[in-house]
């Protein structure tokens, strides 16, 4: 505690104007995020402005040689599921950097502590949205979305956050703030001639990317979305050089965001949901491929475990929908008869088609419906948005249902974000089921079936040493399987504490070494969020920080 107080005093002495938190009660909220980990920080700060962050970074940079353990981890809303916002040194809570600077029909300029829901409320006044929002859209902040390269149900059509970040202001390890955006080849040459740290960044990153250009391009995972490692393959295509592609998804390991400019789009207002019930996986790849030819805006799924859990805890679904239990119960009568006749479907697929008019959306849905009848599965078009909402609520609430009703067991997100190419799912899913079966866990699978992105959430008693062992054993087995199928261990939740240790296996020594070089170019003293992306903790450390009272 004395050391913490000394550091707090030094932070105040450099003119830091925000709050500095050192007492146990104030630090308790920073021990956890939405992952299964717990890590107590030495102290936390809430800067008033970017100037505060610059002062803190400069101080830590000076003190690092005498105190190698000192470091900084930025935190926004703390909704991450990988442990990316946890650190045992200094946490920077950007809650006060919560200003929406401007919104137009094309762009929103915001600070990292802005909640997505607040930005969304402002952009919708212009009739536009930033479409890469995750399921936690009502809870998350935009700084975390950029840090993890978040995505969600609309990503199938519109891509991940990396596609919507157009400009960033970032405080780098020298304590100065810089602006980054897309550069032409001529503009890049001018940046490379700048003296000092900024010019050095451009020169060294260009050399790294150009020297191993082909190897880097081949290393990009062949999946629709990916949030593991550093996205080196997206920065330079020999026409455009864009370091926002590198910062997005970097989990605050290269610098701290102070301002974000997002592109915006006008969404279709009218939508129709087609629900497909599959008894088994035999026709899954054909069904998915056929649906995708009709270009749904979103294409989601959940499994029989999720469906059963929703039925079991029906009152929670009622609360989420804010409707009467009798009325909602009546709306599920067709599905109830289906279950009575043939049992729970193995998978429920939700394909949503949109249009500028009700007629356009319905035409798209009907065309897809007619084309899918060849598979002899049960298919329904939801007549109204209220009808559709019951299925969307099950999909969106699957994680919360597990969290609330697991009893002594708790949700354990550690294999929660795997992705393989959709056409490989019929081969992949039975193999995955065999791996899971060995441990006799209660779990649900929901996800973005159109991308092949699955969220697997087991219920576990993490106070139990054997369950903590299972976390480590099962992680390795599932990731081995994912890599065998050419997939990624994280499509949208990022690496954090839970996956960094496996990056070397996923990408191989050469690419992992380039990740290390990238980190060293931006952060040679390793002051930003250490243990994430590179120089990760070993498996014993990870296991030792699983929250036993989680």
pLDDT of residue 325: 45
* 370 has pLDDT over 50: yes
Crossing angle, helix 358-372 and helix 284-293, to 10 degrees?
150
Can you tell me the distance from the alpha carbon of 405 to that of 409, in angstroms, rounded to the nearest whole number? 9
How much is the average pLDDT of 167-190? 98
* 495 has pLDDT over 60: yes
DSSP symbol at 195: -
Confidence of residue 246 (pLDDT cuts 50, 70, 90): very high
How much is the average pLDDT of 521-542? 96
* 125 has pLDDT over 80: yes
Structure tokens at 434: 């065999």
Task: Give this prediction's pTM.
Answer: 0.94
Range in 162-176, 239-253, 399-413 with the lowest mean pLDDT: 399-413
Helix (H) or strand (E) holding 275: strand 270-278
Task: Indicate the average pLDDT of the chain.
Answer: 92
β-strand pairing of 43-46 with 90-93: parallel
How much is the average pLDDT of 387-396? 86
Domains annotated on the chain, with CATH: 2-96 (3.30.43.10), 100-263 (3.30.465.10), 269-405 (3.30.70.2190)
* 336 has pLDDT over 70: no
Q: Which residue has the higher pLDDT, 429 or 316?
A: 429
Can you tell me the distance from the alpha carbon of 96 to that of 18, in angstroms, rounded to the nearest whole number? 9
Beta bridge pairs of residue 129: 265
Can you tell me the distance from the alpha carbon of 300 to that of 447, in angstroms, rounded to the nearest whole number? 6
How much is the average pLDDT of 251-262? 98
Nearest alpha carbon to residue 163 among 304, 265, 51, 90: 265
- Return contacts of 202-208, CB within 8 angstroms, 24+ apart: 202/241, 204/521, 205/235, 205/243, 205/246, 205/518, 205/521, 206/236, 206/241, 208/232, 208/514, 208/517, 208/518, 208/521
Can you tell me the distance from the alpha carbon of 168 to that of 257, in angstroms, rounded to the nearest whole number? 7
How much is the average pLDDT of 424-430? 92
* 21 has pLDDT over 90: yes
- What is the secondary structure of 2-47 as a DSSP string? HHHHHHHHHHHHTT--SEEE-SHHHHGGGG--SSSB----SEEEE-
* 512 has pLDDT over 60: yes
Q: Look at the block and give the residue holding tokens 């650190």.
A: 87
How much is the average pLDDT of 164-171? 98
User: What's phi and psi for 178, nearest 5 deg?
Assistant: -130, 155
């Amino acid at each position: 505690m004395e050391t913490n107080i000394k550091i707090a005093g030094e932070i105040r002495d450099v003119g830091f104007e925000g709050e500095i938190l050192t007492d146990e009660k104030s630090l308790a909220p920073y021990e956890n995020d939405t992952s299964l980990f717990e890590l107590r920080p030495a102290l936390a700060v809430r800067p008033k402005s970017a100037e505060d962050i610059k002062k803190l970074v400069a101080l830590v940079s000076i003190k690092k040689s005498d105190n190698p353990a000192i470091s900084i981890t930025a935190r926004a809303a703390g909704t991450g599921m990988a442990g990316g916002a946890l650190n045992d040194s200094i946490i920077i809570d950007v809650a006060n950097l919560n200003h929406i600077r401007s919104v137009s029909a094309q762009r929103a300029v915001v600070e990292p502590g802005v909640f997505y829901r607040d930005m969304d409320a402002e952009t919708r006044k212009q009739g536009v949205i930033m479409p890469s929002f995750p399921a936690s859209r009502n809870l998350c902040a935009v700084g975390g979305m950029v840090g993890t390269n978040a995505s969600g149900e609309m990503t199938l059509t519109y891509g991940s956050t990396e596609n919507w970040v157009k400009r960033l202001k970032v405080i780098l390890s020298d304590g100065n703030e810089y602006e980054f955006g897309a550069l032409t080849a001529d503009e890049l040459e001018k940046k490379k001639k700048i003296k000092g740290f900024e010019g050095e960044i451009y020169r060294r990153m260009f050399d790294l990317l150009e020297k191993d250009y082909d190897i880097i391009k081949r290393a990009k995972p062949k999946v629709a979305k990916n949030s593991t490692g550093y996205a080196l393959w997206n920065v330079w295509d020999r026409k455009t050089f864009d370091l926002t592609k590198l910062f997005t998804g970097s989990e605050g390991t290269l610098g701290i965001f102070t301002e974000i400019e997002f592109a915006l789009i006008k969404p279709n207002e009218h939508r129709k949901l087609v629900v497909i019930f599959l008894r088994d996986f035999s026709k899954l790849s054909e069904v998915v491929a056929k649906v995708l030819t009709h270009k749904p805006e979103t294409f989601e799924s959940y499994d029989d475990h999720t469906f059963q859990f929703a039925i079991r805890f029906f009152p929670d679904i009622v609360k989420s929908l804010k409707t009467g239990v009798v009325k909602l119960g009546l709306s599920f009568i067709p599905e109830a008869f289906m279950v009575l006749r043939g049992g729970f479907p193995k998978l429920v697929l939700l394909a949503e088609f949109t249009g500028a008019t009700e007629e356009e959306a319905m035409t798209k849905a009907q065309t897809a419906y007619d084309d899918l009848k060849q598979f002899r599965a049960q298919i329904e078009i939801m007549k109204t948005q209220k009808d559709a909402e019951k299925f969307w609520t099950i999909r969106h609430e699957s994680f919360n249902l597990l969290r609330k009703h697991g009893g002594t067991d708790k949700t354990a997100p550690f294999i929660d974000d795997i992705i393989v190419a959709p056409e490989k799912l019929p081969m992949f899913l039975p193999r995955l089921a065999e791996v899971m079966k060995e441990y006799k866990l209660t779990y649900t699978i929901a996800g973005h079936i159109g991308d092949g992105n699955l969220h697997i959430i087991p219920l576990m008693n993490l106070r139990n040493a054997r369950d903590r062992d299972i976390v480590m054993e099962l992680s390795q087995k599932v990731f081995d399987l994912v890599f065998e199928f050419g997939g990624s261990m994280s499509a949208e939740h990022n690496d954090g504490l839970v996956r960094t240790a496996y990056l070397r296996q996923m990408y191989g020594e050469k690419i992992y070494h380039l990740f290390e070089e990238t980190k060293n170019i931006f952060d040679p003293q390793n002051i930003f969020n250490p243990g994430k992306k590179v120089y990760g903790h070993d498996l014993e450390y990870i296991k030792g920080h699983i929250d036993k009272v989680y």
